[in-house]
Amino acid sequence: MQTTIYNYQEARANFFNMISMLIMAVLGLLALLLNEVGIFTADKENVRNAMIQLCAYALVPFMIYIIHDKIKKCKIHETILEKPFFKIIIIVFIFLCVTDLCIALSFQATLLLAIPPIVVAQYKNDTKLLIWVMIATVIMVPIVVYGSFFMGMYDANLLKPLTQQEALELSNRARIFTLTRAKEIFFHYALTKLLCVVAIDAIAITITRRNSFMIDTQVSLNEAIVEQKEERNLMQQNVIEDLADVVETRDLETGDHIKRTKLYVNILANALKNDDEFKDVLDDETIELMTAAAPLHDIGKIGVSDLILCKKGRLNDEEFNIMKTHTTIGGEIIDHILNDLKDERYLNMAHDIALYHHEKWNGMGYPCGLKEDEIPLSARIMAIADVFDALISKRCYKEAMPIDDAINIIIKDAGSHFDPNIVRVFKTILPQFKEAAEKKL
């Protein structure tokens, strides 16, 4: 959970910053257009070169993202936005973009160097990264100011005594750049901008730490919620299994039946998940719900008399008809009593298993006489697990059957009692079933 939230936040920050760079490129093109029509008066060739470089810098991260996530989407499942190195690429190129833009326009645009710290503020607190960005920003301020002196738009104070026409020649700007002029530019222009940028850096650091605190708080809260949910689900599942176990242990020889059938359902469902016939309807969450609901398959036996449940010998027709009511009773119990769980998927799964696990593929089962795909998949899987365990278990009315004989009966009844496609997969995992059966017997 923690890694997922951090990765998501990092991806969102990278995407936001990448889009910001594209917007910066658009602004650069607008500045180029205004300079070409004479609204700005910077040297056209310098501005053209600067804006071409700006667009190239801004497009690099975006093109990396497009190639990695879109063009190679079929081969790569993890977005590059979550890669740690991608934010370094963005920070480096956004520095290049801002520097290029400031120099091309004017030293007055030096405050655009506040953009990189704001970019970093989008990420979770990274002390080393913050330090490097602050150092780079401080270094870039005088570079931008002096770069603007040589290549930026005309400023009468910065370039005096040159006229606007004279300032178009780079040689004229270089001629007046003496040591004294360099000091004046630093103290009158660079230093004031530097202090402003440092102040913005400090604000960005505060924002970064606040973001980090909020993310860490969110992670802690989510972990607490997940932990509470898991504890609640475990408690509910334990109560459900204990309730089902009470029903089963009315016959002392069947006390472990719910544990074994739960294991068989899980093994079989996971095997079916990888089969072409079932992969579109089975996923990890569905299998988890199915496995959790399996212990409730015979919950309806709570409404059947002990005289019938524990009878030593074959049931007569009347007794068997009463025994068959455990399916409808189970469905009603789940619908009414367990409805307080408020988990609709789980309740539907448990209802289907309890009500339909004695239906047969050929329509000769009970209580509804469903056939083939009319029978819910969970009930078809449960049918195999239930019958297999009943065959290999000792009951008050019979002895345990050898495992291989029980397997042969399952295979023989494919297409009549059981879904033939499930039996086909069942035959591929016989070693797992045998191992589970031997371990549990």
Would you say residue 124 lies in a domain?
A: yes
Please give the structure tokens belonging to residue 267.
């093994």
Looking at residue 336, its pLDDT comes to 75
In this predicted structure, the answer to whether residue 315 has a pLDDT above a threshold of 70 is: yes
Please give the structure tokens belonging to residue 210.
């606040």
Would you say residue 69 lies in a domain?
A: yes
Torsion of CA 291, 295, 297, 299, to 10 degrees: -150
Task: Please count the structural domains in the chain.
Answer: 2
Mean pLDDT, rounded, for 212-216: 69
Looking at residue 96, its pLDDT comes to 83
In this predicted structure, the answer to whether residue 441 has a pLDDT above a threshold of 50 is: no
Residue with tokens 């002392």: 252
Q: What is the DSSP secondary structure assignment for residue 267, as one 8-state letter?
A: H
Distance CA 414, CA 423 (A): 6
Instruction: Write the CA distances from 131 to 6, 69, 119, 126, integer angstroms.
Output: 21, 31, 14, 9
CA angle in degrees (0–180, nearest 5) for 397-402-405 = 105
Distance CA 156, CA 199 (A): 28
Verify that 205 and 254 share a domain, yes or no.
no
Verify that 386 and 258 share a domain, yes or no.
yes
Please give the structure tokens belonging to residue 392.
């290999």
Domain hosting 338: range is 249-440
Query: How confident is the model over 72-81, as pLDDT tens digits?
Result: 654 545 788 8
Percent of the chain residues past pLDDT 90, beyond the cut: 17
- SS3 of 414, please? strand
Amino acid at site 132:
W
Verify that 152 and 300 share a domain, yes or no.
no
Verify that 29 and 163 share a domain, yes or no.
yes
CATH number of domain containing 297: 1.10.3210.10
Would you say residue 354 lies in a domain?
A: yes
Verify that 398 and 334 share a domain, yes or no.
yes
Amino acid at site 90:
I
Number of C-beta neighbours around residue 135 at 10 A? 11
Percent of the chain residues past pLDDT 70, beyond the cut: 82
Distance CA 383, CA 198 (A): 71
Verify that 20 and 64 share a domain, yes or no.
yes
In this predicted structure, the answer to whether residue 411 has a pLDDT above a threshold of 80 is: yes
Looking at per-residue pLDDT, the higher value among 331 and 102 belongs to 331
Would you say residue 241 lies in a domain?
A: no
Verify that 56 and 14 share a domain, yes or no.
yes
Mean pLDDT, rounded, for 37-44: 74
In this predicted structure, the answer to whether residue 251 has a pLDDT above a threshold of 80 is: no
Verify that 261 and 378 share a domain, yes or no.
yes
Looking at residue 426, its pLDDT comes to 92
Entry pTM: 0.53
Verify that 271 and 200 share a domain, yes or no.
no
Verify that 11 and 134 share a domain, yes or no.
yes
Query: How confident is the model over 124-136, as pLDDT tens digits?
Result: 666 677 778 878 8
Would you say residue 186 lies in a domain?
A: yes
Would you say residue 334 lies in a domain?
A: yes
Would you say residue 229 lies in a domain?
A: no
Distance CA 394, CA 401 (A): 8
DSSP-assigned letters across all residues of 173-185? HHHT--HHHHHHH
Verify that 164 and 283 share a domain, yes or no.
no
Would you say residue 85 lies in a domain?
A: yes
Distance CA 315, CA 60 (A): 78
Amino acid at site 118:
I
